[in-house]
Structure 1
């Protein structure tokens, strides 16, 4: 019996030892398998992450491709628009150049007209000075202001004090002026009477307005009646003492202010006709130049 018990214990011990080894081996295998699983899980997660990133990149590339396609289509459309715009721009530029050429020619025409007018003015001044001769500058003066010719004749040469009767000797001077005016039908004249500021009140003249106007009328009548200047070419005006040349506080100043002034007026309608004609010629020439270039 003891022998049986000993044998059973020995067998149990052997079984126990055998089971522990297998268990340890199984546990070791399990641990190894778990490590492999963990490693595989990590790799799988990494692959999933890479796949997700690749998918996002693919979508981004697809979006970029679509954008490029749209841009390319837009560029192709714009290219056609640009060709149209380029053609239109070329036409606009040509029209602008034509306008500039026309304006340039118009300016030249205007300058030519002004130069011609200045030449006429210079010739008129030369004729007047030559006709009047070496008269005292204090008695008669010819000058140009802003393109207008002025002939200023002193009061003492034309009239007695307080009178509107022209001195006989002064008529010779008016005759010389009339000759130049009659030789140049393209001009008109204005006769202005000027006085000093000394008050006057007589049976004939109420004040300096009356005196200056009456003197201007007297010169106008002499030019018309005795020297055949056409009345339609003349204007008579009295300026009283309101346009002085010098101070009325001195005798010398008052003497300068007592004068009759003949203003030579070019016929502006003729001048503007000349300018308008030049403008029309400039426009026609500009158009002709454009047609020749095309």
Structure 2
């Protein structure tokens, strides 16, 4: 009986042991399966995290590009606005420049007209002088240089050699010049005396400067005696410093000994005429 009972207990223990081992194996298999699933999930998770990081990096890059594009767009808009403004200012400045050029051209035209009128008066003086003095006299030259009338009279017609006393023949010639000067009360007449380079020293005169100035004042006094307004007269001596030709022979020295009477408009009156033209221009006349 005891054996039977002991055998039964052992059978029960063995049976329980077999059941537990089977469940353990099943549980162990399930654990391994779960672990495999966990490992696979972990790999997928890591892959997803890597993809997320890459996507985030791309997103951040795209955001930076977007920010740069917005800045570039804003800069282009500003540049376009600045260019539009500059173009507008440039067009305005160009228009002003064209207007300024047109005004300048008009001013130049007005001044040229004024100078032309001055030249017309000058030519009228030349014609009058040639008629009065006689152009065929080789010792008297009448010409125009830069709008100014020059009457050049050879030294031998005005003075004796080394003298500053005017000859009677000179008074006849100067009488004709005086008529022309008197007919132009708004003009000035500068008497300009020149000598050659031969040294001069006859007291009370010291040198060629003294001689040229004295000859100029002698001619001025004759013109004044001929009722030329002294306010129109200017006496100037140039000594030998402005020769026509080289003082290297007697013929050339004779050419350099001369007296020029320069007939010219009074400078202030000429500029008054120019200023009047400018005033007319500014008033749109």
- TM-score range for the pair, normalised by the shorter chain length: 0.7 to 0.9
1:148 and 2:177 equivalent?
A: no
Report deviation, 1:260. 0.7
Q: Cα deviations across residues 29-57 of structure 1 (Å, max 9, x unaligned)?
A: 32322222222223334444555666677
Tell me, yes or no, if the aligned pair for 1:164 and 1:218 is still in contact at 8 Å: yes
The answer for the alignment partner of 1:217 in structure 2 is: 217
The CA distance in 2 between the partners of 1:101 and 1:72, in whole Å, is: 42
Tell which deviates more after alignment, 123-132 or 217-226.
123-132
Equivalent residue number for residue 288 of structure 1: none
Task: Provide the residue aligned with 2:173 in structure 1.
Answer: 173
1:234 aligns with 2:228: no
The structural deviation recorded for 1:258 is 0.8
Which 5+ residue runs of structure 2 have no aligned equivalent? none
For the residues of structure 2 that align with 1:83 and 1:199, how far apart are their CA atoms? Answer: 77
Shift of 1:96: 5.9
Q: Partners in 1 of 2:106 and 2:199 — Cα distance? A: 56
State the SS of the aligned residue for 1:185. Answer: coil
2:201–2:207 Cα contact (<8 Å) kept: yes
Q: RMSD value over aligned CA atoms?
A: 4.4
> Within 2, Cα distance between the matches of 1:159 and 1:276?
43
**1:267 is aligned to 2:266:** yes
**Equivalent residue number for residue 126 of structure 1:** 127
**CA separation in 2, counterparts of 1:60 and 1:3?**
84
Judging changes above 3 Å, is the alpha-carbon distance between structure 1 residues 251 and 6 closer, same or farther for their aligned structure 2 residues?
farther
- Asked if residue 276 in structure 1 is aligned to residue 275 in structure 2, the reply is yes
The answer to whether the aligner puts 1:42 opposite 2:43 as a matched pair is yes
Correspondence list, 1:199-214, <5 A: 199-203=199-203, 205-214=205-214
Give 3-state SS (helix, strand or coil) of 1:173's partner.
Answer: helix
SS of equivalent residue, structure 1 residue 265: strand
- Within the alignment, does 1:190 sit opposite 2:190 as a pair? yes
In structure 2, the residue matched to 1:164 is 164
Instruction: Check conservation: 1:141, 1:152, Cα contact below 8 A.
Output: yes
What is the aligned partner in structure 1 of residue 111 from structure 2? 110
Range with greater deviation from structure 2 (94-103 or 167-176):
94-103
Residue-by-residue CA offset, 1:103-152 (whole Å, 9 max, x unaligned): 44323322222222223223323332333323333x12122333322211
Report what 1:289 is aligned to: none
Does the 8 A contact of 2:148 with 2:262 survive in 1? yes
- Offset of residue 174 of structure 1: 1.7
Deviation at 1:235, TM superposition (A): 0.6
Partner SS, residue 283 of structure 2: helix
| Whole-angstrom CA distance in 1 between matches of 2:142 and 2:280 | 36
Checking the alignment, whether the CA contact within 8 Å between 2:135 and 2:142 is kept in structure 1 is no
CA distance in 2, matches of 1:164, 1:70: 92
CA distance in 2, matches of 1:273, 1:71: 62
TM-score by length of 1: 0.74
